[in-house]
Copies of this chain bind each other. A is one copy, B any other.
Amino acid sequence: MPEKKLHRREFMKISGGTILGAGLVAGGLMSGSKKAEASPMPDKWDEEFDVVVIGTGFAGTAAAIDAKKAGARTVVFEKMRLPGGNSTINGGLIACACSKLQEKYGIKDSPDLLLDDMVKAGLGLNDPELVRIVAEKSRDVIDWSEEVLGVEYRDEVVHLGGHSVPRSLKTREGSGAAFIRPALKKLKELGVPVRTGVMVSTYVVDEKGRVQGVRIREGYRFPNADSGTVKNVRAKKGVIVAAGGFGYDVRFRELQDPRLGADVTCTNHPGATADALIELLRLGATPIQLCWIQSGPWGNPKEKGVGIGALFNLRNFMHGLMVDPATGKRFVNELADRRIRAEAIFATGHTCLPIVDSEGVKSYAHYIDKALAKGVVKKFDTLKDIASEFNMPWSDFKAQVNRFNQFVQAREDKEFGKPIPKDDKPVETGPFYVGFAWPKVHHCMGGVQINKNAQVIDLKGKIIPGLYAAGEVTGGIHGACRLGSNAFLDCIVFGRVAGRHAAMA
């Protein structure tokens, strides 16, 4: 080992005389570590911008639009060949407290109620300042998406698990692409280049610890780390990391939660790896709650990714019941938060069955034929047929459906406390539709610490100058459990905060 120790010192002597001593004089600024947490400042920059945004999902595009509008010369880098990341395959649901549609349908709501729901689901692990910002900005976000981007929402308000009231709006086309597409169009109009196939490998940091830019690989072909041409791009005002979560990164997610190994499937796109997060941590960013990784309880094991079977389950949770086929009985509030439901399904040890009747399936009318053709939803004439198909104890299952229907009529679930929608009907009119539920890795609640300006905070509690983060790469907003439709919201709220703050830096 002593031999190795000499290498660096000898190299220093050869190339720079008394450099080592000088480094000590300078207060130990020069690290002897091989861990190049940051790239050295280049002799010259290949390109210069005011703001560099990493990622083209909800947070990245929102950040870039607001940065540009605030006057910053802005560029967006995306490591994948196509833009949009998980956001574009997202189901297009966004939470809003006090939307126009809630008013229209007479649903009473408030930012405080949304906040309470988030903190309850989050088990109180939520950063109090950040979660309040998200809860208070939801109406702003919807208005902005309509006015600035022309996003259209359906004439309905969806009630998702863990929300006290129906408050989730759905884009007309039922996916996050309905936001990403106009956002990219807006960036084009604004003259903001969006470059795909560009991997940000490290940050460039100056002697004061300020992030001055990024080192990129242009022409990068995911996941080949050595592909592309290295360039140094300056970000005079700030780098905004909106690179998403690490749900698809089996090594890193299994480290944080050993239950989520390669045998657990995932709804994310393959680019949802931990690279960006790891570079932030290597730079000294504070990790927050990395081990809280959400599995979507609506996952349908009969197809890959999110799938249309998941949409059926999600819709069913509003109207129908879910049973454990081993007992024919319910086992959880079908509208509990995702953590509670996923844990309950995992605990049964096998695929569970969301069930809805011909009335309930109406909210899923867009997809039902496709889902049946794909075999991810099955149709039965009678409840007894369902029991036969899945070898369920018929008398128990029948009694369960009757009991559930009484709760629906009474508008009170005395067994599991599911909030019954006010116009909900008993499950009794055939044909009946049955989905399949087994959770899939879906969202990382944990990530790096940011402050209310979306600035990244280091391990000693100080702002890392010139560095911002927004969206799933950040941690602490959702605590132990992100509620459905709150990712879309959070990403846009903090994407915009980051864009404006960086532009004004």
Residues of A that sit less than 8 Å from B by CB = 1-2, 4-5, 7-9, 11, 15-24, 26, 28-43, 124-128, 202, 204-210, 212, 236-237, 251, 255-259, 278, 281-284, 286-292, 446, 449, 458-461, 466, 476
Contact B21 A19 (CB under 8 A): no
A282–chain B nearest beta-carbon distance, Å? 6
**Which listed residue, B19, B22, B210, touches A1 by the CB 8 Å rule?**
B210
User: By CB atoms of chain B within 10 A, which of A1, A24, A251 has the most?
Assistant: A1
Contact A19 B15 (CB under 8 A): yes
> Which residues on the B side are within 8 Å of A286 (C-beta)?
255
Contact B11 A16 (CB under 8 A): no
User: By CB atoms of chain B within 10 A, which of A22, A28, A251 has the most?
Assistant: A28
User: By CB atoms of chain B within 10 A, which of A18, A287, A292 has the most?
Assistant: A287
Q: A35-B284, A40-B32, A283-B33 are in contact. Are A125 and B9 (CB under 8 A)?
A: no
| Pairs A-B, 3 closest by C-beta atoms | A8-B207, A16-B16, A34-B209
A291 to B281, CA, bound (A): 16
**Which listed residue, B33, B126, B128, B237, touches A31 by the CB 8 Å rule?**
B33
**Which listed residue, B19, B41, B290, touches A9 by the CB 8 Å rule?**
B41
Q: Nearest B residue to A457 by beta-carbon distance?
A: B255
Q: Nearest B residue to A275 by beta-carbon distance?
A: B460
> Which residues on the B side are within 8 Å of A21 (C-beta)?
43
> Which residues on the B side are within 8 Å of A125 (C-beta)?
257-259, 291
Contact A33 B205 (CB under 8 A): yes
> Which residues on the B side are within 8 Å of A292 (C-beta)?
291
A291 to B475, CA, bound (A): 11
Q: A31-B36, A43-B21, A255-B449 are in contact. Are A7 and B207 (CB under 8 A)?
A: yes
Q: Nearest B residue to A261 by beta-carbon distance?
A: B128
A258 to B4, CA, bound (A): 44
A264–chain B nearest beta-carbon distance, Å? 12
> Which residues on the B side are within 8 Å of A7 (C-beta)?
206-208
Contact B281 A287 (CB under 8 A): yes
A146–chain B nearest beta-carbon distance, Å? 34
A216–chain B nearest beta-carbon distance, Å? 14
* Extra pairs beyond A4-B207, A255-B288 (7, CB < 8 Å): A11-B22, A15-B19, A33-B37, A33-B283, A35-B283, A35-B458, A278-B459
A263–chain B nearest beta-carbon distance, Å? 13
Q: A20-B43, A278-B460, A290-B287 are in contact. Are A35 and B37 (CB under 8 A)?
A: yes
Contact B8 A206 (CB under 8 A): yes
Q: A127-B258, A281-B287 are in contact. Are A28 and B35 (CB under 8 A)?
A: no
Contact A31 B20 (CB under 8 A): no
A291 to B291, CA, bound (A): 8
A468–chain B nearest beta-carbon distance, Å? 15
Contact B4 A28 (CB under 8 A): no
A212 to B41, CA, bound (A): 27
Q: A34-B208, A284-B35 are in contact. Are A28 and B40 (CB under 8 A)?
A: yes
Q: A16-B16, A128-B258, A257-B125 are in contact. Are A37 and B41 (CB under 8 A)?
A: no
In the assembled complex, 25 residue pairs joining A and B whose CB atoms fall closer than 8 Å, in A order, are: A8-B206, A11-B207, A15-B16, A15-B17, A15-B18, A15-B22, A16-B16, A20-B41, A21-B43, A28-B39, A30-B40, A31-B35, A31-B205, A33-B38, A33-B283, A34-B207, A35-B37, A125-B259, A126-B258, A255-B288, A255-B476, A282-B459, A289-B291, A290-B290, A291-B291
A180–chain B nearest beta-carbon distance, Å? 30
Q: Nearest B residue to A205 by beta-carbon distance?
A: B33
Q: A43-B20, A124-B258, A207-B8 are in contact. Are A37 and B26 (CB under 8 A)?
A: no
A129–chain B nearest beta-carbon distance, Å? 10
